[in-house]
Structure 1
Amino acid sequence: MIPSPRRSPAPLLRPSPVLRLLVGRSLAALATALIPTTLTLAVIRSGSAGDLGLVLSSELVPMLLLLPVAGVAADRLVPHRLLLTADLVRAAGQLGIAAELLFGPGRIAVLAALAAVTGTAVAFGAPAVRTLVAATVPGDQRLQLNSRIGVAQGLAQIAGPAAAGGLMLAVGAGWSSLLTAVLYAVAAASLIGLRPNRDTAPATGDRATFTTELRAGWAETRRHPWFLANVLGHGVWHLGAGVLLTLGPLIAHDRLGGDGAWVVIAQVGSIGLVAGLWAAGRLPIRRPLVGVAVGAAAYGLPLAALGFTLPTAVVTAAYCLGMIGLGVLSPLWETTLQNRIPHEALGRVGAFDSLISFASRPLGLAVAAPIASIVGTAAPLLVMAAAVTAANLAILLLPDVRTPTPTEPTPTPATTPA
């Protein structure tokens, strides 16, 4: 009797790259959402408003300064390794904050230094996510993945502050930072073993200098009028968001029924954002950049509603519609960049977009109150409503905006390595 051949053991089921990216970026989004509330509550308990400003700005400033460098790194290096390193650095920074809050006096200088470490890692992680999705996921699957990542980020923005506040009240801010470090570490672990497609892997030959690659990235940026026009429009709505988030609570407190009115407005807006993110991957949108322009222009609705001090129900509905527009915008924009910008320049080009976005909103937050103290709250809100609407709807005049987006970009001489 001939013995039957031994069967080889069944291969272990491994999560798909799409699932691993979704889970890892969702955990990283939740970790990121925990940080501001944790730091704010921790510093307020032992410091002053000036101390809080120092700690929060210590995270923001490195992001702004290092984004161009991070864009070059995202194009030079293997994206999943760069993102894995960024997640581990963020985990280490949050672990240091946890140790300082659990075992130390919560020294402001130490917290500021560790916040700067986190901000540096955020700067390098932001463009790496975009390049990793483009290098790992086929073009026809990117919109769905970007939409799901966006939904996870939206839910994290809702749950993160509440979770951080609950942990702060129950066991202390140090444990919230420790949880944040664990989430970043697990997010990093989800990237182990990911491999980009061979045709999108960074070139390994002789490289140009950093400044040469940075100039090449700017040349590629200028080659796309649709990109520059959208970045300008996004900068305007981020500026408007800073104005709205500063003056909106003041108007709600004085004229719309008190602080509770703003809580309702903000929560309904958060629901609208998640709904828009969810819908973006399911709507039959053949011209994504048209959806991006209309979605950004919709943010003019809540600005105008608050500027005219309309009833609370109208302001709430307008803010919900504006946030739905932003929810639809985000996945469409990410997918458009991944499908239109050559892979070898995506990190550098995307970094310019992130730089404008990160810089504009803090500017709006900073100037809204001083301007309102001089001219009142209506004028800055109505000016920004008109600017947001006009800057984004004007983008529809560009021919490239009205054409369908391909699923893969075409390399150009401006971005092909020498």
Structure 2
Amino acid sequence: MPLPRALRPFTVPAYRWLVASMTLSVFAAGMWVVTLAYEVIDLGGGPSALSFVASISAVVLVALALPGGILADRTDRKRILVTVEALNAVAMAVTSAAALLGVLQLWHLAVSAALLSVSVAFYFPAYSAILPRLLPPGHLLAANGIEGMVRPAFLNALGPAAAGALIGAFSPHAGVFACLLLFGAATATALGLPAGAGAVARDAAAEPTTALQDFVEGARFARDTPWFGWTLVWACCVVLVFIGPIEVLLPFLVREQLGGGASMFALMLASMGAGSVLGSWLTASRPLPRRYLTTMLGLWGVIGLIPMALLPVAGSPWTMGAVMAILGASGSAGQVIWGTLLQRRVPPELLGRASSLDFFVSLALMPLSMAIAGPLGERFGLTPLFVAPAVVGPILSLAVWTKARLWEDEVAHPLTDHEDLEPVPVD
């Protein structure tokens, strides 16, 4: 009996090594989020101290997102994956040793959080760029769907839950040690990738280029490729109106609408995570839509944003949870299609830079969105902030769809599954 479409990438041995390493790493990252918070609290720190550590981590991530893509297009991607996982393990080893010796301070945690952000900035472009080296084109949609299921499941659910159980039974130091073991295992698993899996294709006749020239080439590709460049513009604008309400105002909406506290808020996030897993699975289980650009923008800008207007009037946890699940499902389904488009339509020698540019744009206005959401919510109330994305999203989606003539682009560049193709051979 043939495997379901969503599981077919697992027939490729090299991919099994890659996804195992990614899963271990994401599991550790999910544990670290909770562990870091309770290590800060254990040191006597409060919200300001945790905000200090988190802000340093965010600044490092944004600053290195673009250099991470440049490196992924210049250096063996397997080497990058192994190096960043090893760096994570070293950061956890040092933190764990400081905790055991009783000398742990806030700056140790800030440095460790920054190092993990360095790893994320370099890991994401390398991971995206290595997939087409391991899998045939017809498996890429499923592979992106698998990632779309693993991340919310381990980063937002299993990782935090495991950390909470360990910290409750022992101490925050136990969480750090568990992160060390997981990152160490992720390093060892990444080493199992074939030697040539991360090789960068080079034109022997081409002149060597500098990092700055590589950056300019990537920016020029975004400018000259409407489906890519205009989607980034769309994402940048939507992040500004979407992230703040979800990340900052949702706990207050839960309190006002449902009279709930932290557990109710966690339930809403869990509903969104469950929706993300379901959306990724369903998208990975079917062929790539023929109207893939239209479908993607529809999922993101219409199905994924209009329901936000229902959150301020949700009268029960079931209603609000259902809306959150719809947001998660549509967002992850669109992301699976987008990741597949990058790997199918971006030239291989530019894929690392394209992925990092996408990553950078997704992060660039996130701090601003989170900074203004609170003051705007206090001044105008919560409802307008949740209605705004529901209005802006569809209008902006239609504008980008029209400006970039996406309906013509997707017809001119059909993407079939090519299920019969074999992966690119690696040494």
TM-score normalized with structure 1 length:
0.88
State whether residues 148 and 276 of structure 2, in contact with CA within 8 Å, keep that contact through their aligned partners in structure 1: no
Counterpart among 293, 296, 313 of residue 289 in structure 1: 293
Pair 1:189–1:140, CA change in 2 (3 A): same
Is the partner of 1:76 in helix, strand or coil?
coil
Residue of structure 2 equivalent to 1:246: 248
1:206 shift after superposition? 4.7
Q: Confirm whether residue 194 of structure 1 aligns to residue 162 of structure 2.
A: no
Q: Confirm whether residue 355 of structure 1 aligns to residue 360 of structure 2.
A: yes
Counterpart among 87, 92, 97 of residue 94 in structure 1: 92
Q: Confirm whether residue 110 of structure 1 aligns to residue 108 of structure 2.
A: yes
More divergent stretch after superposition (240-249 vs 350-359)? 240-249
In 1, the alpha carbon distance for the partners of 2:332 and 2:224 equals: 27
Counterpart among 60, 71, 74 of residue 73 in structure 1: 71
In 2, the alpha carbon distance for the partners of 1:99 and 1:350 equals: 35
More divergent stretch after superposition (30-39 vs 379-388)? 379-388
Residue of structure 1 equivalent to 2:162: 163
State whether residues 306 and 393 of structure 2, in contact with CA within 8 Å, keep that contact through their aligned partners in structure 1: no
Q: Confirm whether residue 332 of structure 1 aligns to residue 337 of structure 2.
A: yes
Pair 1:103–1:292, CA change in 2 (3 A): farther
Is the partner of 2:208 in helix, strand or coil?
coil
Report the identity percentage.
25
Aligned-residue CA RMSD (Å): 2.3
Residue of structure 2 equivalent to 1:3: none
Structure with greater Cα Rg = 1
In 2, the alpha carbon distance for the partners of 1:323 and 1:65 equals: 27
1:296 shift after superposition? 1.1
Residue of structure 2 equivalent to 1:231: 232
Residue of structure 1 equivalent to 2:218: 217
In 2, the alpha carbon distance for the partners of 1:212 and 1:336 equals: 24
In 2, the alpha carbon distance for the partners of 1:318 and 1:206 equals: 53
* CA-to-aligned-CA distance 1:42-101 (integer Å, 9 cap, x gap): 102221222111211222211111111111100000111111111111111122222222
1:127 shift after superposition? 0.6
State whether residues 132 and 196 of structure 1, in contact with CA within 8 Å, keep that contact through their aligned partners in structure 2: no
Counterpart among 366, 370, 390 of residue 365 in structure 1: 370
1:268 shift after superposition? 1.9
Highest relative contact order (Cα 8 Å, sep 6+), 1 or 2?
A: 2
* CA-to-aligned-CA distance 1:262-292 (integer Å, 9 cap, x gap): 3333222221111001111112322332232
**1:269-280 counterparts in 2 under 5 A?**
269-280=272-283
* CA-to-aligned-CA distance 1:219-249 (integer Å, 9 cap, x gap): 1111211112222232344330332232121
Residue of structure 1 equivalent to 2:151: 153
Is the partner of 2:194 in helix, strand or coil?
coil
Code of the residue aligned with 1:219 in structure 2: it is: R
Code of the residue aligned with 2:194 in structure 1: it is: L
* CA-to-aligned-CA distance 1:297-333 (integer Å, 9 cap, x gap): 2221342112445554333222211111012112211
Aligned length: 395
In 1, the alpha carbon distance for the partners of 2:167 and 2:416 equals: 45
TM-score normalized with structure 2 length:
0.86
In 2, the alpha carbon distance for the partners of 1:265 and 1:17 equals: 36
Pair 1:138–1:396, CA change in 2 (3 A): same
Residue of structure 2 equivalent to 1:207: 208
**Unpaired stretches in structure 2, ≥5 consecutive residues:** 1-10, 418-427
Pair 1:63–1:256, CA change in 2 (3 A): same
**Unpaired stretches in structure 1, ≥5 consecutive residues:** 1-13, 409-418
State whether residues 24 and 186 of structure 1, in contact with CA within 8 Å, keep that contact through their aligned partners in structure 2: yes
In 1, the alpha carbon distance for the partners of 2:306 and 2:316 equals: 14
Residue of structure 2 equivalent to 1:392: 397
Code of the residue aligned with 2:210 in structure 1: it is: T
Residue of structure 2 equivalent to 1:379: 384
Residue of structure 2 equivalent to 1:322: 327
More divergent stretch after superposition (280-289 vs 363-372)? 280-289
Pair 1:287–1:103, CA change in 2 (3 A): farther
State whether residues 305 and 393 of structure 2, in contact with CA within 8 Å, keep that contact through their aligned partners in structure 1: yes
State whether residues 89 and 183 of structure 2, in contact with CA within 8 Å, keep that contact through their aligned partners in structure 1: yes
**1:258-273 counterparts in 2 under 5 A?**
258-259=260-261, 260-273=263-276
Residue of structure 2 equivalent to 1:36: 33
Is the partner of 1:190 in helix, strand or coil?
helix
Pair 1:386–1:198, CA change in 2 (3 A): closer
State whether residues 164 and 176 of structure 1, in contact with CA within 8 Å, keep that contact through their aligned partners in structure 2: yes
Pair 1:359–1:97, CA change in 2 (3 A): farther
In 2, the alpha carbon distance for the partners of 1:130 and 1:267 equals: 26
State whether residues 70 and 124 of structure 1, in contact with CA within 8 Å, keep that contact through their aligned partners in structure 2: yes
State whether residues 58 and 116 of structure 1, in contact with CA within 8 Å, keep that contact through their aligned partners in structure 2: yes
**1:21-32 counterparts in 2 under 5 A?**
21-32=18-29
